[in-house]
Structure 1
């Protein structure tokens, strides 16, 4: 049985179709059409449709790109072509979840309970919470070690047998059309009817001289990871929010002296501020802007400017912990999805992005309050929204 496709120059889905057929080593006959041409009228007569591409097996129209991928994933395409010895190696997932932090893992629990064929793709498990020592504001736990909480999340997901690719970075995505395409950096391709983006955020840099040059030589973005290296040392923490205050608390029983440098008055929780205020080890400088990290081979100090007086000062320290917030991991979606000035993906109250079948949750979105409990709730919402979307497609 022969496969015929009608295409038009400049049609992206036509190119996707041809690329897909080449990848699967399926021979086809192509007819290029233009609106109003004899070939166009012939296509309309045979398929009853004017959208492109149009695909026929023999004289039977099967639809476009999405329908082709659907048929290939079930093996029905090869049956219709009389090539039953072939087997599809590209399963079609009901949902592909990008990210395995609290939002992504929560989404996975809900999608699998809805019997949705689910794939998780993530470079790691746990996301930003793994950079924290203890979590003391998660419902049901007066205090829990962050690593233990992540282990509980992961264990819960594993009880459902969710398929996952951990240690894989996503290279590109194609979110248009009914079938979404995810390509990992190693070139492997995965198809999903829906996508849930839960890629979280990364630490925001200071972008000052010395920061990049002295990274891992005294400059750190993780007090949980690196605080033990500064036993008895003088260190600086840059930032004024919860992450900076938590870093100070991590260092209290380790460092000799801690200088907290904030561009604004402290904005972190009063509970943290009170604990820090009771320690003679901590000296706080607010409305001060770091301008340079000092040192040639290792950190020797930090330079900052007072926004009130303009005076530039230096402090001798052996370590600088940068804790000034997160940048959303939304780079590969910027050209496709709407984002705000911060690069956060814009979502509505049920985690829809504005592109059909694409949902987002957690720290990568514009939802306020970057907290574990918020991310977990948003992940559940995204999963339920994806499920409702698929129900309405049938």
Structure 2
């Protein structure tokens, strides 16, 4: 049975295009009426719908609202009832909160959300996040020393005790954050709908991308001096990088290691105060305008080859550990066109983990919150879930 669905649109309106595409994906026929402000059709639209924004959708002459309202109706199954499609139901469960990411921030958010009796779904390609790249953690409250894999297992087991729904494996390919109901699409073609969304996709350490690096991660190669520096008491180590994170790593290691080789492709770029402190230490030997070319070692790191960018000279540094401190890249590519980010691509959040878009929160290393540490991410995840709960009860 044909149903009278009318969509008032304006040319080049992105939400109009979304509404039309949404109806087409659902196999719902519609009549489009293009309008221009102050035109006869515009006045007709305002009279029939009471709205002065586009798109405006009517079903059998009854206004249902715009694109956001359309998605909300579909998520609850109400749209199909109004259309008389008795054989159709809501496309998917409507969750109170969908959490993207299952690192410390995402898992913490899941625990706090489920304890607030929110219907919660976690979607992530894997479990653990960046902490899984670390061998041991010695700075997490309550543990003087814990294997990183064991810590992640404890996090995961804690979440499982609350029965949080999880989708682990598929990768998120697209998100729609602008409607009242947030939609998440994964690479297996499934669509998930939520009243709120928490982005906890974390970050990834920038790698050197040289021979031997991948094979020796957590076997002498570290991306976190705060986590792993104590493991190299009395050892010779290399720090790769010349910015603040590299200089801070060198300062951490001065108290612990026997000798530190600082290798930077450029002259030092970190804060002058950091530079001064590092340069004063007799433990530190600098190789500026050198690039690492190969990690040496079989079952564990035994050295690194570096090459001068000026002369081409290749040198071998004998070290037990290599700290790669050349930056962290936030996993924010899906969101940069919709949410505010800084020049590094980190999502900007306020003190309550709000992104500035209603119902969308972010936490952990994907945000501009400083100090990329497990304990910080866990706290931010808790804040994000509590903020999502506050948002929902005030709607």
Same-fold call, TM cutoff 0.5 = yes
Decide whether the 8 Å contact of 1:195 with 1:358 is kept in 2.
yes
**Equivalent residues in 2 for 1:45-194 (5 A)?**
45-194=47-196
Q: What is the TM-score of this pair, normalised by structure 1?
A: 0.81
- Are 2:316 and 1:315 equivalent residues in the alignment? yes
Number of corresponding residues:
363
Task: Give 1:376 shift.
Answer: 0.6
Task: Give 1:285 shift.
Answer: 4.8
Task: Give 1:352 shift.
Answer: 1.2
SS of 2:334's partner is helix
Q: Counterparts of 1:97 and 1:384 in 2: how far apart (Å)?
A: 13
Q: Bigger CA drift: 315-324 or 383-392?
A: 315-324
- Are 2:260 and 1:260 equivalent residues in the alignment? no
SS of 1:199's partner is coil
What's the counterpart of residue 293 of structure 1?
293
Task: Give 1:220 shift.
Answer: 2.9
What's the counterpart of residue 231 of structure 1?
none
Q: Counterparts of 2:346 and 2:231 in 1: how far apart (Å)?
A: 25
Q: Counterparts of 1:387 and 1:78 in 2: how far apart (Å)?
A: 29
Unmatched 5+ stretches in structure 1: 228-236
> CA 1:379–1:79 in 2, change beyond 3 Å: closer, same or farther?
same
What's the counterpart of residue 306 of structure 2?
303
Decide whether the 8 Å contact of 1:220 with 1:321 is kept in 2.
no
Q: CA RMSD in A?
A: 3.4
Q: Counterparts of 2:331 and 2:283 in 1: how far apart (Å)?
A: 31
> CA 1:258–1:270 in 2, change beyond 3 Å: closer, same or farther?
closer
What's the counterpart of residue 219 of structure 1?
213
Task: Give 1:182 shift.
Answer: 2.3
One of 196, 199, 206 as aligned partner of 2:198: 196
Decide whether the 8 Å contact of 1:196 with 1:358 is kept in 2.
yes
Task: Give 1:355 shift.
Answer: 2.1
What's the counterpart of residue 29 of structure 2?
27
Q: Bigger CA drift: 165-174 or 380-389?
A: 165-174
SS of 1:276's partner is coil
SS of 1:148's partner is helix
Q: Counterparts of 2:155 and 2:4 in 1: how far apart (Å)?
A: 49
Deviations 1:237-296 (A, max 9, x none): 6889435636757xx9xxxx85424545752497765443399xxx9654324414159x
Q: Counterparts of 1:118 and 1:97 in 2: how far apart (Å)?
A: 8
Q: Counterparts of 1:316 and 1:16 in 2: how far apart (Å)?
A: 57
Q: Counterparts of 2:394 and 2:380 in 1: how far apart (Å)?
A: 21
Decide whether the 8 Å contact of 2:5 with 2:29 is kept in 1.
yes
> CA 1:366–1:22 in 2, change beyond 3 Å: closer, same or farther?
same
Q: Counterparts of 1:371 and 1:120 in 2: how far apart (Å)?
A: 21
Q: Counterparts of 2:330 and 2:132 in 1: how far apart (Å)?
A: 16
Q: What is the TM-score of this pair, normalised by structure 2?
A: 0.80
Deviations 1:295-354 (A, max 9, x none): 9xx9995115599xx995500669985621422112222222222232222211111122
One of 32, 41, 44 as aligned partner of 1:42: 44
Q: Counterparts of 2:286 and 2:194 in 1: how far apart (Å)?
A: 48
Decide whether the 8 Å contact of 1:240 with 1:267 is kept in 2.
no
SS of 2:387's partner is helix
> CA 1:245–1:288 in 2, change beyond 3 Å: closer, same or farther?
farther
Unmatched 5+ stretches in structure 2: 261-281
